Amino acid sequence: MNKKVAAKDLGLKDYKETWDYQELLFQKTIDLKIKNRREETLLETPNHFLFVEHPHVYTLGKSGDITNLLVDEKQLAARGAQFYKINRGGDITYHGPGQIVGYPILDLDNFFTDIHKYLRLLEEMVILTLAEYGLKAERSEGETGVWLDVGTPFARKICAMGVRASRWVTMHGFALNVNADLGYFDMMIPCGIKGKAVTSLNVELGQKEVSMEEVKKRLLKHFSRLFEAEIIKENTET
């Protein structure tokens, strides 16, 4: 089993370009798994972890409801935002500057073949990272992602998640609000869950800005421990 994970920071990058890049890595891994099975070879399958920030964009998962987007195309354009229907699970999500988006493209045969466990470990990675900032983050029963003040009228989401998997290869991932412009969340019903707020790390800490690089390092540290993986840093060229 290959437990090395190539970590790459793409910086600020268009959503569709990044999606296409994910699909390329995803399909290459699947093709290699098919080749291994067909030709009875034992070639190692790669594992990737992409960090990225996107320009303002809304994405709707396969099971999502378009009515959870509360604005039309003209209003989106006026705010400089794009919209895509995509092939992950979950409902509507916003991505934008000041948000750390993580796309692990893993062959779970290298780790464990359990999607439920995979999602819970991604949540745990975020929970442990936020604990380093003095925040008590939690799961909310029946709702994927990471929340604060669960079970109270002040419950608010700080990290959204949605993944796709085929032949135990994953893509898509999580979006953690670090220095996000929360006004963009008013243009949708986040994840299709009514009556619950969204927050960002800088808001919770009462800071103008939190170091994105520091948060990324902490996320990778906890990912490495939880998945028992060796992180290999790569350059940013795609």
Give the whole-angstrom CA distance, residue 209 versus residue 205: 9
Domain extent for 159: 4-233
95 located within any domain: yes
pLDDT digits 0-9 by tens, 149-183: 999 999 999 999 989 999 999 999 999 999 999 99
Asked whether residue 118 is domain-assigned, the answer is yes
pTM metric for this prediction? 0.93
pLDDT in tens, 16-44: 999 999 999 999 999 999 999 999 999 99
CATH code at 90? 3.30.930.10
Residues in the chain: 238
Catalytic residues: 191
Q: CA of 6: how far to CAs of 49, 158, 195, in Å? A: 6, 26, 39
Task: Tally the domains of the chain.
Answer: 1
Residue 238 forms part of a structural domain: no
Note the pLDDT of residue 190.
61
**Is residue 216 included in any domain, yes or no?**
yes
Q: Cα separation of 187 and 47, whole Å?
A: 35
Give the Cα separation of 22 and 135 in Å (integer): 31
